[in-house]
Structure 1
Amino acid sequence: MRQRIMNPIFLRNKLNFVTMISLLSLSNFSAQTFSDFSYRGNDKIYTNNPLKEDEFYSPILQGCYPDPSITRKGEDYYLVNSSFSMFPGVPIFTSKDLVNWKQVGHVLDRPSQLKVEKSGVSQGIYAPDIKYNKYNDTFYMITTQIASGIGNMVVKTKDPAKGWSDVQKLNFDGIDPSIFFDDNGKAYIVHNDAPPKGTEQYNGHRVIKIWDYDLEKDQVVAGSDKIIVNGGVDLSQKPIWIEGPHLYKKNGKYYLMCAEGGTGGNHSEVIFMADSPKGPFIPASNNPILTQRYFPKDRKDKVDWAGHADLVETPEGKYYGVFLAIRPNVNNRVNSGRETFILPADWSGKYPVFENGLVPMKPKLKLPEGVKNQTGQNGFFPNGNFTFTDKLNGKNLDYRWIAMRGPRENFISTVKNGVKITPFDTNIKALAPVSALFHRLQHEDFETSVTLDFKPKSEKELAGITCYQSERFNYVFGITKKDKEFYIVLERTEKGESKLIASEKISLSKTVKLQVVGEKDDHLFNYSLDGKNFRNLGGPVSGDILSTDVAGGFTGSLIGLYSTSSNDIVPD
């Protein structure tokens, strides 16, 4: 079955029409203009570990970029990440050297591909896999969409930077599908699934299945499924959450690499080998081949939860692996979420092993031979302690700006001095699209600010900044109205229960500058009426509710430029 690729001009015109109708219907409310956004990181790990000329930092993608998958066509590498209910979905990056990465867009950038309007923040898109098939010169992105009954799905394209096909739903259960193209032209899908009914032995017992894949119909072959791993490396040890499988072929042998132990302190990567893609798969005797679970909890520059990896071969025959891991803050919080790391892999023996993947990880790696570190320059994605500034008045917003559960174009318009947000009648606690532009938190210590031009007409209107872990765990720092007076407010929401931290009456003669400063595990919410002198509201507050270990789920914290016409914060 041919995949239909939508005409981009038609899609753009249709989206503009929908945007115009959405904005007209909301014209009774005050519009807010956000401008001069700034985000700056100041983590000690980077100040204490400056780069030498032949070094680069890992993670290569800081902040909530989990579950990386990678592929290569010629000299071009492509990498994708999980995006859950963020919209657009599945950020995609490209590189020619595995060090310097540019974001070229998102795989799922149309509402017809991504139906997450009513999804919790940690639903939506799980564990995308990207692979290039040289036999038909086509890229495939296969994933699980936990929303709207879609489940496992695939899209494809000839050019990852120029749009992807409509969604093809796949006929199997489970999660974490990955596609493999054999050198005889055949294709297979491997994925995580529940064990056969009545055979589950313990909580977390899962299996890996394989299916034949029909490239003409873009569908698994009915009845071709087979369990190739039961439980994990050693079922007698009751391994949990065997998942994130990837198949590779080297020297005529087939290798199955999987995550094991669950995304947490026991996370690891393990590998198996077989003579056939359908097994039997024999685990390596030296498993795991990547983990950080064996080391002291108080180790310096701690990296943890390492796993969920994917391998790629360079044109020179060397191997690298990308994987997720976390860097907890001083209070062991996971505010920035699971990030994308990279390590060289040694495959000189029978099985691959991540180089220095079984010792405490260091923040710096040696550059591959002949590569110059250009991160943060020439359009390449930054890492380390970088500053990102955006006047927010460009024709096209930076790809880093995302929305939640729906297109950002439904509530924004670019004006001369910034971006105008026309508010939705939903607030930040809704399981619905919200009118907020989000940027990922990428540091433990940070400072972010934005200038806001806004005069609310009623107490139902609010605009400002949200520090957002989910619809049930967040801070809102913004301007609203009570009677005839304007107020600045700070609210904390934990487990869906909201509490006003502080409020102050303010005069609104011109723009207000809002600032959030993160120091270790505390957040300071400050404002300035003259653009220079800042006043704190509410004192330091804990960043605990912005951490995965408190809020649950799979995402990192986001910083949002937020507006609502359904405000429920009442100033004192």
Structure 2
Amino acid sequence: MNKKNIPLMTILLALFALVGFNGIENHDYPAPKNTPVFTKVVYQGNDQVYKDYPLEADEFYNPILQGCYPDPAITRKGDDYYLVCSSFAMFPGVPIFHSKDLVNWTQIGHVLDRVSQLDVHDTGISQGVYAPGITYNPNNDTFYMITTAFAGGAGNIVVKTKDPKAGWSDPYHLKFNGIDPSLFFDDDGKAYVVHNDAPDEGKELYSGHRVIKIWEYDVEKDQVISGTDKIIVDGGVDLADKPIWIEAPHIYKKDGKYYLMCAEGGTGGWHSEVIFISDSPTGPFVPAPSNPILTQRYFPKERENKVDWAGHADLVLGPDDKYYGVFLAVRPNEENRVNTGRETFILPVDWSGTFPVFENGLIPMEPKLKMPEGVENKMGQEGFFPNGNFTYTENFSSEKLDYRWIGLRGPREAFMKQTKKGLEITPFDTHIEELKPTSTLFYRQQHDSFSFTTTLEYQPKSETDLAGVTAFQNEGSNYVFGVTKKGDDYFLVLEKNARPNRRGGTVSEIIASEKVDLKAPIHLQIKANGDKYEFAYSADGTEFTTVGGVVSGDILSTDVAGGFTGALLGLYATKANDIVPQ
């Protein structure tokens, strides 16, 4: 996935906040409308690793994109670098970032930001769009984004633009199966698509056996050329070793040779990056004798500040004429959970010999890197994306909502509204467990230890009304913490939704409920310290009361919940509430 905001709250609401701090009664507080209004969000990250490893002047932190920003791909035009990531059923889709130096990144939007480009309205969160590839074609001065859309019958698609900051075309639907496509434009003007696919029918040798195919691509028609498909890698580096899930291929040309780089080993603990060489873009491709060129799979499980699952990479020539590789990896918490999801990392690449090798990519990775010469670290400043420990405050007062805020299965604009009071969320007749668009505005969890605090103005009218916050891994694995009504009373409820196994139905458990006074805005908070999560509320925004005690974050990790996303923190409202306070 990722991913500006909404008009200023009124002076009156600011006064309410001050009144709450000073303990003065709100005699003139007007009764809120039934539409929930969120007036402020503060996200604060507090990971120990960043305290233990403070930055020197010439250093920056890795990952460069914290939270669920997996499957990165990168391209360059002149001094401009563009990076995209997977977004699955999040909407808008395929977050796109821009940089001049590979250190400081600005999110400039999303590639698939219209329903005409992306139809995920009835799709599980880990479906949708996978593994985008972005490539600049100097032959026609055009950028291409190619991806697989597991929704709406789209299949493999490509969109294009002359300027990534100005929006992208509607999709061209490509006539081939398989996943993880990328484009390669040769010096002679010819173009090719490479992708992961199943072996020819009847030739699958074992579970996880896949192949890499190549097609010639017609740039005028934006379509593969029928009959040109060819298998260029069967199984992986060595078929005798039964390698699994050769995927995410990219072709590069250097010194007259063609290089094919792929992920191998699946996206979990055996993940790696491997490289092949050929005299032709259509092969035959010969594996390097020193594969893999990137992996974290060989090291002790309990190592400090562990980075794992490294792979799914892409290469680019940096501003210092040195190669760099972006790739996904995870940073598990103390219970080996991956609640922050698969994140985007970067490493310098040594390509002084025949084959590229990720520098320090074959030893346990460190949390920080040396910056390219002449680069200043501005992350978190001047509009650049933050990393390390940081505080992000959203007052919903800007003209446009920040790109970090996303919807699920449909546009955010369908349920949110800019008002002088704050962000209104009009509740849908769907709840968090349904495979339909939900009226939820999400922010990615970016730290193991964090707090996510919001202010809510709301008085539900009935038992089917609820608004609050959610910690969300998928439609069957999440926590809901919000206010609803029972009889004449208002209640704050905490519900856990989980699947005993990934194929079974969701089991809902009300962990706690508590009667509350909603005459004034209520402050809701999600906080975590590794695998330990707490949900709390406050009347004044200072003293918080935990509801339901400490709960496990296990269901917010893919190793328990399945799927491919990291945990999301959401502002949630529904008219289909089925949580009954105890």
TM category, shorter: over 0.9
Q: Please give the alpha-carbon distance, in whole angstroms, between the structure 1 residues aligned to 2:67 and 2:57.
A: 25
Contact 1:45 1:301 in 2 (8 A): yes
Residue of structure 2 aligned with 1:566, choices 566, 572, 576:
576
2:540 is the alignment partner of 1:530: yes
The aligned residue for residue 125 of structure 2 is 121
**Aligned partner of residue 184 in structure 2, secondary structure:** strand
Please state if 1:318 is matched with 2:328. no
What is the identity, as a one-letter code, of the residue corresponding to 1:510? A
- Is the contact made by 2:101 and 2:319 (CA closer than 8 Å) also made in structure 1? no
> C-alpha distance in 2, partners of 1:526/1:288?
46
- Matched residues in 2 for 1:213 and 1:92: separation? 24
1:461 correspondence with 2:458 = no
Which one of 199, 217, 224 corresponds to residue 228 of structure 2?
A: 224
Q: Does 1:275 align with 2:279?
A: yes
Q: Which residue is 1:371 aligned to?
A: 375
Give the aligned partner of residue 211 of structure 1.
215
Q: 1:210–1:227: 8 Å Cα contact kept in structure 2? A: yes
Preserved CA contact (<8 Å) 1:393 1:417:
no
* Residue number in structure 2 paired with 1:168: 172
Tell me what 2:487 maps to.
483
CA distance in 2, matches of 1:448, 1:270: 39
> Which residue in the other structure is 1:386 paired with?
390
Q: Report the Cα offset of residue 509 of structure 1.
A: 1.0
Residue type at the aligned position of 1:295: F
Partner residue of 1:544 out of 541, 551, 554: 554
- Report the equivalent of 1:514: 524
Query: Is contact 1:477–1:490 with CA below 8 Å preserved after alignment?
Result: yes
Aligned equivalent of 1:130: 134
> Matched residue of 2:369: which SS?
strand
Structure 2 gaps, min length 5? 1-32, 500-505
Measure, in 1, the Cα distance between the counterparts of 2:321 and 2:47. Answer: 35
Q: Distance in 1 between matches of 2:459 and 2:346?
A: 47
Report the Cα distance in structure 2 between the residues aligned to 1:294 and 1:501, rounded to whole angstroms. 40
More displaced, 385-394 or 267-276? 385-394
Question: Is the CA contact 1:130–1:140 (under 8 Å) kept in the aligned structure 2?
Answer: yes
Alignment of 1:242-321 (within 5 A): 242-321=246-325
* Residue in 2 that maps onto 1:437: 441
Q: Residues of 1 paired with 2:575 and 2:41: CA distance?
A: 23
Is residue 505 from structure 1 mapped to residue 509 from structure 2 by the alignment? no
Offset, 1:317? 2.7
* Cα displacement string for residues 58-109 of structure 1 (whole angstroms, at most 9, x for unaligned residues): 1000000000000000000000000000000000000000000000000000
Cα distance between partner residues in 2 of 1:467 and 1:148: 27
Task: Give the secondary structure class of the aligned counterpart of 2:542.
Answer: coil
Q: Secondary structure at the match of 1:432?
A: coil
How big is each residue's C-alpha offset from its partner over 1:168-203, in whole Å with a ceiling of 9 and x where there is no partner?
100000000000000111000000000000000000
State the match for 1:423 in structure 2. 427
* Normalised TM-score (structure 1): 0.95
Alignment correspondent of 1:342: 346
Aligned residue for 2:166, secondary structure, equals coil
Matched, 1:555 2:565: yes
2-side partners of 1:387 and 1:261: how far apart? 36
Is structure 2 residue 80 aligned with structure 1 residue 80? no
Partner Cα separation in structure 1 for residue 360 and residue 399 of structure 2: 44
Q: Conserved in 2, the CA contact under 8 Å of 1:394 and 1:414? A: no
Partner of 1:492: 496
CA-CA distance at 1:374 after TM superposition: 0.2
1: CA distance, partners of 2:156 / 2:182? 10
1:200 maps to which residue? 204
Q: CA deviation at 1:276?
A: 0.3
Secondary structure in 2 matching 1:545: helix
State the distance in 2 between where 1:203 and 1:264 align: 16
Distance in 2 separating the partners of 1:234 and 1:86:
36
- Equivalent in 64, 67, 89 of residue 71 of structure 2: 67
Q: In structure 2, what is the Cα distance between the partners aligned to 1:333 and 1:191?
A: 30
- Whole-angstrom distance in 2 between the partners of 1:420 and 1:567: 18
Q: Deviations over 1:153-174 (max 9, x none)?
A: 0000001011100011000000
Structure 2 partner of 1:57? 61
- Deviation (angstroms), 1:315: 4.7
- Paired with 1:260 and 1:96, the residues of 2 have a C-alpha distance of 30
Structure-2 residue corresponding to 1:5: none
Where does residue 6 of structure 1 map in the other structure?
none
| Equivalent position of 1:94 in the other structure | 98
Secondary structure at 2:321's aligned position in 1?
coil
For 1:194 and 1:553, locate their aligned partners in 2 and report how far apart those are by CA, in whole Å: 21
Secondary structure, aligned partner of 1:343: strand
The Cα offsets for residues 522-553 of structure 1, whole Å up to 9 and x where unpaired, read as 11101012332211100000000000100000
Identify unmatched segments of 5+ residues in structure 1.
Answer: 1-28
RMSD: 0.9
Please, which of 332, 340, 343 is the counterpart of residue 336 of structure 2? 332
What residue identity is the alignment partner of 1:146? Answer: F
Counterpart residue type for residue 453 of structure 1: E
Answer yes or no: is the 8 Å Cα contact 2:102–2:318 preserved in 1: no
Shift of residue 508, structure 1, vs aligned partner: 1.2
Cα distance in 2 for partners of 1:130, 1:48 equals: 36
Q: CA deviation at 1:316?
A: 4.3
Separation in 1, partners of 2:490, 2:319: 61
1:448 deviates by 1.0
Amino acid at match of 2:550: P
Residue in 2 that maps onto 1:159: 163
Matched with 1:145 is 149
Bigger mean CA offset, 463-472 vs 516-525 = 516-525
SS at structure 1 position matched to 2:164: coil
TM-score, normalised via structure 2 length: 0.93
Answer whether contact 1:74 1:315 (CA < 8 A) is retained: no
Runs of 4+ in 1 over 4 A off after TM superposition: none
CA contact (8 A) 2:533 2:551 kept: yes
Identical counterparts, % of pairs:
67
**Which string of whole-angstrom CA distances, capped at 9 and with x for unpartnered residues, describes residues 497-518 of structure 1?**
1100000111111100001110
Distance 1:385 1:473 in 2: 27
- Aligned-pair CA distance for 1:327: 0.2
Q: Retained in 1: the 8 A contact 2:74–2:83?
A: yes
CA contact 1:500–1:569 (8 Å) conserved in 2: yes
Task: Pick the aligned partner of 2:455 from 442, 451, 458.
Answer: 451
For these two proteins, the number of residue pairs brought into alignment is 545
SS of alignment partner, residue 439 of structure 2 = strand
C-alpha offsets along residues 296-341 of structure 1, whole Å, 9 cap, x if unaligned?
Answer: 0010110000000000012543100000000000100000000000
